[in-house]
Structure 1
Amino acid sequence: MRIRARKSKLPPPNEFKETSMRIALLIATLATTLAAAPASANALCSVGDRAQVSWKGQWYPAKVTKVNEDQTKCFIRYDGYGSEWDEWVGSDRIKVSGRAMPGFQVGDSVQVKWKGEWYPASVISTKPDMWKIHYDGYAESWDEWVERDRIRHR
């Protein structure tokens, strides 16, 4: 009985080297592209942005000096105030100037601040910078119009 040698299905060594080089080049190109990508379009703010910040029901001009890692909070300095007033603020308290803020549409599930607590609700109507909401599990008599500082996505 004679055993026949099987032909190898593997490519010659030079093709391995060429394929490995192509993969390495592709990975390097992808890494460079991702590193150069701009901050997320959904970022709440960027360092240097001018903004209006809500504090105790009033809006004050401020400048963004830092952004947290997941880009959901902005560290701000109020115009005309010292660093002791600097603070981190989230989307419920900041309006970045010259930038379209994420809005809400009819049917969106949201949370609404009422007397210091966040409650689940749905958007039932909109107008510029205001949203009419219906609190989940409550009668229509509780429906109300709210501004940006009292509404956030769930």
Structure 2
Amino acid sequence: MPAARAHAAALLLALALVLGGCKRQYAIGDHVLVAWEGNVYPAEVIEVLGPTKFKIHYQGYDDIWDEVVPRDRIRGLVEGNVVHPPPPPKVRSKGLQASQTNVYKIGDRVRVEWHGQMYPAVVTGIVGQERYRIHYDGYGSEWDETVGLSRIQAK
């Protein structure tokens, strides 16, 4: 009987290795969903550090939040429009500190440059030093983005 158990264990191990090897490998430029601080956020793979480690950039966030994540925090590829969850508490805290000296405040009406044209928008969040989360007037939340001071004009 011990030989049968060892054989079964070996088969289970082999099956786990085969199935584990079937996981999709991500590449630089892939748009993925990543578990971060209790929510899932859209991000881009900016560096592959090995078969199970990736450096990612969270879409709409400052580069200071880029991080190396293990494969198991990536929930899959982004498909369609993704509504961004609210920023994690540590991001909001940093934004609150920045809000003391930033030019714009939450609720300010602004015009934002997008692909060479100016669009009316409202500041909906502060995510860092002169980095703002904005919502474009007349567009869905899937168009919300984080922009720097260089793309904003006072309305």
TM-score (structure 2 length as normaliser): 0.34
Larger helix fraction of residues: 2
User: Larger radius of gyration, structure 1 or 2?
Assistant: 1
